[in-house]
Amino acid sequence: MSISKFSSNIARVGALSAALLAPVVALAQEAAPAAADAAAAAAPAFTMDKGDNTWMLVSSALVLLMTIPGLALFYGGLVRAKNMLSVLMQVFMITAVVALIWVTYGYSLAFTDGGSLNSFVGGFSKAFLAGVNTSSLAETFSKGVAIPEYTFIVFQMTFACITPGLIVGAFAERIKFSAVMLFVVLWVTFIYFPMAHMVWFWGGPSSYTSPAGLIFSYGAIDFAGGTVVHINAGIAGLVGAIMLGKRTGYKKEIMAPHSMTLTMVGASLLWVGWFGFNAGSNLEANAYASLAMINTFVATAAAAVSWCIVESFARGKASMLGGASGAVAGLVAVTPAAGFAGPMGSIVLGLIVSPVCYFFVDVVKNKFNYDDSLDVFGVHCIGGIIGALGTGILVNPALGGAGIVDYSTADFAASYAGTATQVLAQAKGVLTTLLWSGIGSAILYKIVDVIIGLRVSVEAEREGLDLATHGEAAYHA
């Protein structure tokens, strides 16, 4: 793709983001039924392996474990005791609400053909799971191999649930519960579902020449959601933190985590659940799932060690918070690379990501004086960018990577377009994600602020959101 064509696409992304709440979704289903029927008739017979299906069901449960209780406890331990329950409630209810939205219209917008808008979003042909039953299948990354469509829907649903949950860490301790819920409903509709479509929608191995999502068409690769999940949520979190403003007493009062014990438990659950997140994204129980699993092990370990080393030099002591933060940074970075890099490349990725994230958390945040409460931007967005760009390098077979499957060849041989070509494609994907989510999220925050207001009162913030918002406390003396 030429630079001029890419610039044109970016302009289209900006224009669509600015008109985010226009009837984009309503116009998205222009797919012709006759064409869909013809494609279905021409599709080859798929085979389903019970082992693949079992692995994907287990992976789906593991990703849910990441969110509740994993993410909820990780974030909850990092806030003050008076706000613990509010964070648990936000993550828990986001999971419930998004699950319902996903099966209502989210899956359809993310994973069906969107007609003239297909580069950006799908249509409504599978709204309310129309046409999905126990006989319908979703093809994996091997031609003719499939899993039950219900299984694919559930697996992708867990991704849709955790992504907006990540955002709340950026403005924890100061946002209205009602504002969180309204924002999430709008955000998954106009930001997440289109992003998932742009990155992951394609025809599959049996129809690889079919129109694909915008970022997929760049040639960008994202195994498990570096752009869709982490950069997407991270930039939305930064925008939210800036638009809500700083917490009352920020940098004047002690705002230390109230329970590093719970944060460690949460981080550990995230690590365990992430095996479903990354290895499950292979959609099959084969050697590439094993590759994603070992990469998730070693990149995370390397990043945890790296963060503690940097912290020891910078502050003289390694902290549990640093170890947990490094582990999460490693998990974030290896997400897009999990099934593409080799284990040694993943270790290098883990060693590199922590110093960069540490710099953004410790230096950049203080320099620009924004209150990203739990460092969503510094860890998830920055770590996601490092991972996305690094994937373009580490996928190279010469560096131990798996290469990129070329579906135009008879044997689906692995290929590599070259470092410059692949990294440029990755950079296009990163930039598109930053623009789509950054601009779109700012518009949605403003809409929510106008409708119900984003921020609690100073009195409620002083009292703590547990009692002020929910009328109960996480702890009793």
**Which amino acid would we find at residue 193?**
F
**Which amino acid would we find at residue 329?**
A
Residue 251 burial class via C-beta count within 10 angstroms: exposed 0-12, middle 13-18, buried 19 and up: exposed
Q: Which of 454, 475, 453 is nearest to 464 (CA)?
A: 475
Looking up tokens 């579906």 gives 407
Identify the pLDDT of residue 411: 82
Is the backbone of residue 225 left (phi > 0), alpha (psi -120 to 50) or beta? Answer: left
**Which amino acid would we find at residue 151?**
T
Tokens standing for 477?
Answer: 């003396």
Q: Give me the sign of the Cα torsion angle 250, 365, 238, 233.
A: negative
Dist CA 360 CA 338 (whole Å): 24
Please name the helix (run of DSSP H) or strand (run of DSSP E) that holds residue 47, with its range, or none.
strand 47-48
Identify the pLDDT of residue 409: 86
Looking up tokens 């964070």 gives 87
Looking up tokens 């319902």 gives 100
Residue 405 burial class via C-beta count within 10 angstroms: exposed 0-12, middle 13-18, buried 19 and up: middle
Geometric angle at alpha carbon 346, from 231 and 153, rounded to 5°: 50
Identify the pLDDT of residue 343: 98
Please name the helix (run of DSSP H) or strand (run of DSSP E) that holds residue 48, with its range, or none.
strand 47-48
DSSP character at residue 44: P
Identify the pLDDT of residue 9: 52
Dist CA 65 CA 338 (whole Å): 19
The tens place of each residue's pLDDT in the chain, 477 residues long, gives 444 454 455 445 444 444 443 444 443 444 444 444 444 444 558 999 999 999 999 999 999 999 999 999 999 999 999 999 999 999 999 999 999 999 999 999 999 999 999 999 999 999 999 999 999 999 999 999 999 999 999 999 999 999 999 999 999 999 999 999 999 999 999 999 999 999 999 999 999 999 999 999 999 999 999 999 999 999 999 999 999 999 999 999 999 999 999 999 999 999 999 999 999 999 999 999 999 999 999 999 999 999 999 999 999 999 999 999 999 999 999 999 999 999 999 999 999 999 999 999 999 999 999 999 999 999 999 999 999 999 999 999 999 999 999 988 888 888 999 999 999 999 999 999 999 999 999 999 999 999 999 999 999 999 999 999 999 999 986
DSSP string, 77-94: HHS-GGGHHHHHHHHHHH
Dist CA 236 CA 95 (whole Å): 18
Tokens standing for 51?
Answer: 């082992």
Q: Which of 214, 79, 98, 203 is nearest to 156 (CA)?
A: 98
Dist CA 475 CA 465 (whole Å): 13
Identify the pLDDT of residue 410: 80
DSSP string, 260-326: HHHHHHHHHHHHHHHHHHHHGGG-SSSHHHHHHHHHHHHHHHHHHHHHHHHHHHHHSS--HHHHHHH
Instruction: Collect all residues with Cβ–Cβ distance below 8 Å to 201 and sequence separation of at least 6.
Output: 110, 111, 118, 122, 212, 213, 216
Phi, psi of 389 (to 5 degrees): -70, -40
CA dist list (Å): 154 to 46, 306, 437: 20, 35, 24
Identify the pLDDT of residue 413: 87
User: Which contacts (CB < 8 Å, 24+ apart) does range 406-412 have?
Assistant: 407/143, 407/205, 407/208, 408/208, 412/143, 412/205
Residue 98 burial class via C-beta count within 10 angstroms: exposed 0-12, middle 13-18, buried 19 and up: buried
Q: Which of 129, 197, 125 is nearest to 159 (CA)?
A: 197
Identify the pLDDT of residue 44: 58
* Strand order, beta sheet including 47-48: 47-48, 145-148, 137-139
Instruction: Collect all residues with Cβ–Cβ distance below 8 Å to 387 and sequence separation of at least 6.
Output: 226, 230, 332, 333, 334, 335, 336, 337, 349, 353
Instruction: Give Cα 298 distance to the centre of its chain.
Output: 20
Is the backbone of residue 186 left (phi > 0), alpha (psi -120 to 50) or beta? Answer: alpha
Phi, psi of 172 (to 5 degrees): -60, 150
